[in-house]
Amino acid sequence: MRKHKSMFWIGTPALLFAGFLITSSPVRAAEAADSEQINKMLSDAKTMAFQLKEDAETMESFTRMDTSWQSHAIAINQIKDRVNALAKQVTKMKAAEGTAAPWQKTAIDRMTPYIDELTGYTMAVIEHVNHEVKHTPAEYKDYLEANADYASDLSAMISEFVDYGRAKQRTETLGSKLEVSVK
């Protein structure tokens, strides 16, 4: 009797695993292919986010230098323009999301919170520079640091998604060339 129970416990996971393999193949085949349009927009967003990161880091460095308020105003307006351009890019990607692969949809969804945070901190800096709201020097410095941090994190994340897409495409191309399944 004990032999039969142990065979049952050994056989059950094997059957479950086999069932998983059988059912997962059609599911993977049904996954949406990568959208070239989304890949292009992600690549453009990568460039935009890198430029934003550079500008935000430069502006954050103003806290360690003696720079004029005009320099602050010029820099924050440039940052605002870059954040707005990225927000428009995300809106375009969301409009095309129906053609996106699951990983591309994840990339789009993950960009939105960064854009929202960058918008908030950028507006706080603009209010300070325009003397609409008086923030303490420490608060102002925190806003600049937060902008630089969010811009850096966003840039890195988008870059990693673009790299993932390229690696995935290379793997699929090689798999096809070698006539092996990469799914």
**Could you give the percent of the chain with pLDDT greater than 90?**
77
Judge whether 46 and 158 are in contact, CB under 8 Å.
yes
What are 24's two structure tokens? 């997962």
Provide the 3-class DSSP secondary structure of residue 171.
helix
Average pLDDT value for the chain: 87
The pLDDT score that the predictor gives to residue 27 is 42
Span 120-141, pLDDT tens digits: 999 999 999 999 998 899 999 9
What are 11's two structure tokens? 């056989």
The pLDDT score that the predictor gives to residue 180 is 87
Judge whether 39 and 101 are in contact, CB under 8 Å.
no
Answer whether residue 23 shows pLDDT above 50: no
The pLDDT score that the predictor gives to residue 78 is 98
| Relative orientation angle of helices 36-61 and 137-178, to the nearest 10 degrees | 150
Q: How far apart are CA 74 and CA 67, in angstroms?
A: 11
The pLDDT score that the predictor gives to residue 32 is 72
The pLDDT score that the predictor gives to residue 134 is 87
Confidence of residue 2 (pLDDT cuts 50, 70, 90): low
Average pLDDT over residues 161-173: 95
**Residue 34 half-sphere exposure, CB side, CA atoms within 13 Å?**
18
Confidence of residue 181 (pLDDT cuts 50, 70, 90): confident
User: For the chain, what is the total number of helices (H) and then of strands (E)?
Assistant: 5, 0
The pLDDT score that the predictor gives to residue 3 is 52
Span 45-60, pLDDT tens digits: 999 999 999 999 999 9
Residue holding tokens 């995935």?
Answer: 168
Question: Nearest 5°: phi and psi at 105?
Answer: -60, -40
